Amino acid sequence: MRELLVSAILATLAVLCCASPAFAHGGAFAAPNAGPSVLRGSAPSGASGGNSASGGAPATGVPGGVASPEGWEFWWEANKDRYLNLRSHLGSHQTASGDLGVLSGKGRRTPDAWSNRPTHDDIMLKIVPNLLGLIGSEDDGNILDSSILALARSVPADAETKVFEAALSLLAHNELSVQTSATISLGVLGTKAGVDVLTALMMDTSVGRRAVGGGEVPRVVRAFGALGLGFIDHPRSVQSLVRVIETLPDSERDTKVCAIVALGLMENELIHQAVPVLIEQLENRRLDTYIKSFIPTTLAKMAGGTLREAVVPLLDAFKKRSTDDAVRQSVAIGLGRLATMADTDVVDALSDYATRGRDVQTRHFAFISLGKIGARDTSPDERRGAHAALVRLLGKETLKPSEKSNAPWAAIASALYARGEAHSDRRNDIADRLWGAYGDTRNASHRAACVIALALMGANEHAPTLYGDFLDSKDNDFRGYAAVALGLMGFDNAKPVFRGMIQSKSVPPTVRLQLATSLGLLGDQGAIDLLVSTLETTKTLGVSSAVAKAMGLIGNASALPPLLAVANDGRKPSLARAFAAVGLGLVAERGELPFNARLSEDNNYRPRVPALDEILAIL
C-alpha cells in the first residue's frame, strides 16, 4: 500500500523535483516484491517511504503549478514544520491587529479553550490498546504499517516494551512495506533495545536475516535500519555507522546515504569520532557524488549543529571549482547552519555566489543561508557594516534581482534575517521592502513568497489587504500560501470562508491542506469536525493524506474519538482506516514537530535517494 500511496500522492501533489536521472519524474522507490502500502508515501502507514500516512515525497505539498524544483516552494515544503509549529501556536493564538504580532509581542491574544494535547491517559487507555488491537487482528498492509509507526511516534516510555515486541513481530511480514515500517518504528520508538536488531538489519547479518524471516535483508530495510540507529542516538552505533560508510560499496547507495544521514541525527558523546571520517570522505574524489552530497548537511547537523571545526573544510569545498553542483548545494546549506557573521570568508563567499554563481540552486540556497547566519548574530552592532551590506544585498535582490529567480529566495531570506531577536530596528524597513515587492510583481509564485515572508516576520498589519487579494485571486497556488500566511498572521475573519473551501470538492487537496493548516493556526475548533467528516467520506488518496496531515499538525485531542472510530470500523474502506491510524500517531506525537522534520529540515532535496525519499514522504 505504501507504493500505491507514494505514487498517488507524488502524482497528486506534483512533486517534480529530482536531480537523479533514474528518478527524474519524481517516482518513488518501488521495492521488489513489496505490496502497496500507505506508509510509503502513498497512504497511511508511516514508515517505509511510500505508503500511506507517510505522505509523499521530500517536498510533500508542493502545488501542481510549480514546475521547477528550483522554486522556493520546494524549500518551504521541506522546512515549514519548524516555522509553522502549529502545536505551539495553539497555545498562544494571535489575532491580526495591525502590528507586528507574534515576534513583537503586540498581537492580541484570544482565549485558547480548545488546544488541548492528548494526555498520558489518552494515549495509554485509548490509542495504544486500539492500535495494538489492529496489529493483532488485521491483515491489511496499509493498516499494519500505519498502526505500528503511529504507536512508535506517540507512546510514552511505559508502553515501549509492547510496541517494541509488536514491531519485531512485523519484521518478517510478507509485505515489504510492513517490514520497512516496523524497521523505522524501532528507531522512532527510541529505546536502546532496538540498537542490536537495527544494527543486524543494517549489516545484513545472520541475526538480521532471521529477523526478516530468512534470506538477505532487503536493501531498503538495511537503509531504514541505519536511519533507525540515528533516531535512537546510542553511542555504540557511531562506529557501526562509520564502518558502513567506509566499507560499503557505492552501489549500496541507499544504505550508505542513510548511514551518513543517521549521524546527523546524533548528539551523543561519541559523535565527534565520526567527524574526521566524514571530512575525509568529503575530500574523496572516488566517492559517488550523490552519496557525498549528504555529507555537508550531516556535518552541519551533528551534535546539535555545534561542530565549528567543519566550517573550514566546508568552505574549502564550496570554493573548489571541481566540486560537483549537488555537493556545493549541500555545502551552502551546511554553512548556513554552522557559520556566523564573524566568519567573513563564509559570508563573502555566499554573498558572491548568490549574485554571480553559475548553479541556480546553489545561488538560492546561499540566500537562505545568509538570512539564517545574519539572524543568529546577537551582537550586530559589533559588525554593523557587515549587517548593512547583507541587508542591502537581500533588499536589492528582492526588488531588482540580478536574476529573476533570485527574488522570491531573497524575500524569504530577508524574513528569516528579520526574525533574529537582535534585528528589531530593521524589521519595519524590511517589511516595507517586502510589501513593495509584493505589489510590484504579478508573478503568482513571487507574490506567494512575499506573503509567506511577511507572515514569517509578523507583518500582520497587511493581513486585511492580503485577505482581499486571496478572495480575488483565481490562482490556487497563491491562494494556498496566502491562506497559510493569514493563519500565521492570526487573521480570524478568514475562518468561515476557509471552512467552506475545505468542504468544496473543487478545491485541490494541496490547497485543502493549506486551508486546514491555517485554521489550525487560527485555533478553529470547527476544523477538526470538518476534517474528520472529510476523512470518513473521501475516496481520494490526495485528500485523505492532506486531511490526516492537517489533523496531526493541529494536534488536538478532540480528534481522537472520531479517528479511533474510523480506524476500528471494519465497514470503512481500509484506506480511510489506515489514514485514521496515521492521524492518531500525528495527533499524539511525542515531540512538537513530526519525527522526520529533522530529516527534511536543511536537507538538500535535489539529490534523490529512494529510501530517504520514503522517510521524508511519511506524513
Instruction: Express each pLDDT in 364-392 by its tens digit.
Output: 999 999 999 999 999 999 999 999 999 99
| Predicted pLDDT at 510 | 85
pLDDT in tens, 47-57: 333 333 333 33
Give the pLDDT confidence of 114-125 residue by residue, as tens digits. 457 899 999 999
Q: Per-residue pLDDT for 9 more than 50?
A: no
Q: For residue range 156-206, list pLDDT tens digits in order.
A: 988 999 999 999 999 999 999 999 999 999 999 999 999 999 999 999 999
pLDDT confidence band for 88 (50 / 70 / 90)? low
Q: Vertex 97, ends 96 and 101: CA angle to 5°?
A: 65
Question: Taking residues 279-297, what's their average pLDDT?
Answer: 97
Quick one: pLDDT at residue 512? 85
pLDDT in tens, 401-432: 999 999 999 999 999 999 988 888 899 999 99
Average pLDDT, the chain: 85
Residues 6+ apart with CB under 8 A from 492: 95, 96, 110, 522
Task: List Cβ neighbours of 235 (8 Å cut-off, separation of 6 or more).
Answer: 268, 269, 270, 271
Instruction: Name which of 295, 279, 283 is nearest 331 in CA terms.
Output: 295
Of 114-118, 278-282, 612-616, the poorest mean pLDDT is in: 114-118
Q: Is residue 213 within 8 Å of residue 172, measured between CB atoms?
A: yes
Which pLDDT score, from 0 to 100, does residue 525 have? 72
Residue with cell 550586530: 380
Q: What does the alpha-carbon distance between residue 89 and residue 98 come to, in Å, rounded to a whole number? A: 19
Q: How far apart are CA 558 and CA 266, in angstroms?
A: 34
* Dist. CA 29–CA 50, nearest whole Å: 7
Q: How confident is the model at residue 64 (pLDDT cuts 50, 70, 90)?
A: low
What residue ranges do the domains of the chain occupy?
Answer: 2-596+613-617
pLDDT of 89 over the 70 cut? no
What is the share, in percent, of the chain residues with pLDDT greater than 90? 68
pLDDT in tens, 211-231: 999 999 999 999 999 999 999
CA–CA distance, 126 with 147 (Å, rounded to integer): 13
Q: Which of 300, 357, 290, 299 is nearest to 327 (CA)?
A: 290
pLDDT at res. 554: 73
What's the pLDDT at 61?
55
End-to-end CA distance of the chain: 14
Question: pLDDT tens digit string along 522-540?
Answer: 878 777 777 777 777 776 7
Q: Does residue 101 register a pLDDT over 50?
A: no
| Per-residue confidence band for 86, with pLDDT thresholds at 50, 70 and 90 | low
pLDDT of 297 over the 80 cut: yes
pLDDT (0 to 100) of residue 95: 43
For residue 528, the model assigns a pLDDT of 77
C-alpha cell at 421: 531577536
Reply yes or no on whether the pLDDT at 65 is more than 60. Answer: no
- HSE, CB side, 13 Å, CA atoms: give it for residue 19: 20
Distance between CA atoms of residues 181 and 170, nearest Å = 9
CA distances from 186 to 189, 231, 317, 494, 589 (A): 5, 9, 36, 42, 15
Over residues 87-96, the mean pLDDT reads 47
Residue that is written with C-alpha cell 505508503 in the block: 51
Residues 6+ away with beta carbon under 8 Å from 461: 96, 98, 99, 100
Give the Cα separation of 402 and 355 in Å (integer): 6
C-alpha 612/C-alpha 290 separation (Å) is 12
The rounded distance, in Å, linking the Cα atoms of 99 and 97 is: 6
Mean pLDDT of the 248-262 span? 97
Can you give the pLDDT at residue 527?
77
Which region among 110-119, 253-262, 443-452 has the lowest average model confidence (pLDDT)?
110-119
Confidence of residue 12 (pLDDT cuts 50, 70, 90): very low
CA pair distance 118, 123, nearest whole angstrom:
7
How much is the pLDDT for 333?
Answer: 98
Query: What global pTM score does this model have?
Result: 0.87
Report the pLDDT value the prediction gives residue 504, as an integer from 0 to 100. Answer: 86
Better-scored residue on pLDDT, 8 or 130: 130
